[in-house]
Amino acid sequence: MTSMQQDYNPVTQQIADELKGIVGDRYVVYGDAEKLEPYSHDEIVERQYAHPAEVMIRPRTADEIAAIMKLANRENIPVTPRGAGSGLSGGAVPICGGIVLLCDRMNEILEIDTENLMIVVEPGVVTADINEKLSGTGLFYAGYPMSLETCYVGGNVAENAGGGKAIKYGVTNRYVLGIEMVTPTGEIVQYGGKLVKDVTGYSMAQLMVGSEGTLGIFTKIILKLLPAPKASVDLLCLFLTADEAIAAVPKIMTEAGLTPTAIEFMDRAAVKAACEYLNETIPYENAGAMLLITVDGSDAQQVTREYETIGELCLANGAFEVYVADNHTTSERIWSVRRNIAEAFAIISPIQSNEDLVVPPSKITELQAELERLAEKYNILTPCYGHAGDGNLHTRISPSPDMTRQQWDELKPGMLQELYETTNRLGGHVSGEHGIGHKRKEALKIFVDEPTLETMRAIKRAFDPNNILNPGKIFDV
């Protein structure tokens, strides 16, 4: 790591033994490269972003984590907190070695508070389990990251996960009311609480949302719940071209005057990859792009009216078929196509640049046009998918099949520079929901000015004077 200014101490056998003393022998892995390998990377496909940990530890309590952090500060050893490892920016990768602190044992749903419409969870709870647990209560948690069957809610909070339902329900930060965490120096603190309103000092809980594991290790999270919608319908709209599909998106909100729960865009390459991966037989051959649109509400008739309006609008704007999924089985069938695109691409092309650009929703056509321009100019593939309704477009830029690795490596920096500059000009940012991690550290500088970066560094130094917790992420201190 060339940008690291800091030398850390290695994890010795003696330190490993001390860690075992804190959590118990069976919850520490040390000196076994094979067993440590899974904790050296997240879901980023390129191996250049991986780095091995020296020791992996699985604490169960806040007190144990506090003891680990105190030891780490005393011994000058970096600590990288880790959830399910489903991140896409390297946030959970121990790039300076040291300790990986896994949250998987802290996986209890502690309280469902139906009087306050809140839930208290530990960070290692799998996101999808929250709504499973809530079924029958009439309540639901609105977070819907695409990896919800595997990711942990602690990671969702650390990355301020967005996902598929952001146009209507917003992203994770809207639901985080309180956090108990261990600070980088090993103090256990409580921020926020079961309070819908709270201006008692800085909003520390919100500062933690999206802090990418650099400011604290969460041990309890209080989330706001909503009354569960009673009806939900998904439309899968097939368009001949990506341009027509993208152009229909703003019309749904401006012309129809409706706010769907989700508007997901998938271009031909994305749909084909996912359908082949899933053995799905939705007739995608003629579709240049698809929109997956979800409408939900408290009244089935209203939902029917809304989906008919949106479906008709899509048909009038170039869609040649609109499929309707109004029950769990068909809905899951459609959504699993969308959710499996990333995994499908990871298998197709091991060389790719996975971008998470976000622009004002009205600029998404211009961003799409820029990607097409770059595809032609550099002879590359720019398969596109994402949350078109909220301006967050994912693309897995990859070399064309006839390109050598060297050619790709040579063109990539210049191509990305052009893409980022256009995004910036459109008023956009480099990451909508995946985060900066160490992967987008350089790109961050295009989008965030130096005084702001210096403020961020000052916040980091205030929490973590020894730069022990997840060093080298977002920016260099």
- Interaction mask 177-216, other proteins, x per CB under 8 A: ----------------------------------------
- Give me 381's structure tokens: 């593939």
Q: d(Cα 104, Cα 155) in Å, to the nearest integer?
A: 11
Of residues 258 and 315, the one with the C-beta less far from other proteins: 315
Of residues 8 and 284, the one with the C-beta less far from other proteins: 284
Diameter over CA atoms, the chain: 70
CB of 314 to other proteins, least distance (A): 9
Of residues 13 and 329, the one with the C-beta less far from other proteins: 329
Subset of residues 117 to 136 that bind other proteins, contact rule: CB under 8 A = 135-136
Q: d(Cα 32, Cα 112) in Å, to the nearest integer?
A: 40
Q: Is 48 in the site for other proteins (CB under 8 A)?
A: no
Q: d(Cα 324, Cα 228) in Å, to the nearest integer?
A: 21
Of residues 329 and 404, the one with the C-beta less far from other proteins: 329
Residue 34, Cβ density class (10 Å: 0-12 exposed, 13-18 middle, ≥19 buried): exposed
CB of 311 to other proteins, least distance (A): 4
CB of 327 to other proteins, least distance (A): 5
Binding segment for other proteins (CB under 8 A), chosen from 174-182, 189-197, 319-327, 415-423, is: 319-327
Of residues 278 and 403, the one with the C-beta less far from other proteins: 278
Of residues 308 and 343, the one with the C-beta less far from other proteins: 308
Of residues 104 and 326, the one with the C-beta less far from other proteins: 326
Instruction: By CB under 8 A, name the one of 330, 336, 362, 466 that touches other proteins.
Output: 330
Instruction: By CB under 8 A, name the one of 47, 328, 404, 405 that touches other proteins.
Output: 328
Q: ∠ CA(415), CA(419), CA(423), 5° rounding? A: 170
Binding segment for other proteins (CB under 8 A), chosen from 34-42, 48-56, 180-188, 315-323, is: 315-323
Which DSSP string corresponds to 250-279?
HHHHHTS----SEEEEEEHHHHHHHHHHHT
CB of 135 to other proteins, least distance (A): 6
CB of 349 to other proteins, least distance (A): 27
Q: d(Cα 236, Cα 275) in Å, to the nearest integer?
A: 14
Q: d(Cα 415, Cα 412) in Å, to the nearest integer?
A: 5
Q: Is 313 in the site for other proteins (CB under 8 A)?
A: no
Binding segment for other proteins (CB under 8 A), chosen from 17-25, 122-130, 309-317, 432-440, is: 309-317
Instruction: By CB under 8 A, name the one of 123, 143, 260, 311 that touches other proteins.
Output: 311
- The DSSP secondary-structure symbol of 228 reads P
Nearest to 23 by CA among 86, 69, 54, 85: 69
CB of 162 to other proteins, least distance (A): 25
Q: Is 325 in the site for other proteins (CB under 8 A)?
A: yes
Q: d(Cα 31, Cα 248) in Å, to the nearest integer?
A: 55
CB of 448 to other proteins, least distance (A): 43
The sign one gets for the Cα dihedral 451, 453, 455, 458 is negative
CB of 281 to other proteins, least distance (A): 4
Subset of residues 332 to 391 that bind other proteins, contact rule: CB under 8 A = 332-334
Q: Where are the alpha helices (DSSP H) in 317-404?
A: 328-339, 341-348, 364-378
Q: Is 19 in the site for other proteins (CB under 8 A)?
A: no
Half-sphere exposure of 83 (CA within 13 A, CB side): 31
Q: How many CB atoms lie within 10 A of CB 279?
A: 6
Nearest to 49 by CA among 1, 102, 81, 17: 1
8 Å CB contact between 318 and 243: no
- Interaction mask 233-272, other proteins, x per CB under 8 A: --xx------------------------------------
Contacts of 313 (CB under 8 A, 6+ apart): 248, 251, 252, 255, 256
Binding segment for other proteins (CB under 8 A), chosen from 70-78, 168-176, 326-334, 437-445, is: 326-334
Beta strands in 171-254 (DSSP E): 176-182, 188-192, 217-224, 226-227, 231-239
Q: Is 308 in the site for other proteins (CB under 8 A)?
A: yes
Instruction: By CB under 8 A, name the one of 111, 129, 321, 366 that touches other proteins.
Output: 321
Binding segment for other proteins (CB under 8 A), chosen from 62-70, 163-171, 304-312, 369-377, is: 304-312
Beta-bridge partners for 30: 55
Nearest to 119 by CA among 219, 228, 223: 223
Q: State the residues that interact with other proteins by CB under 8 A.
A: 135-136, 235-236, 281-282, 308, 311-312, 315, 321-330, 332-334
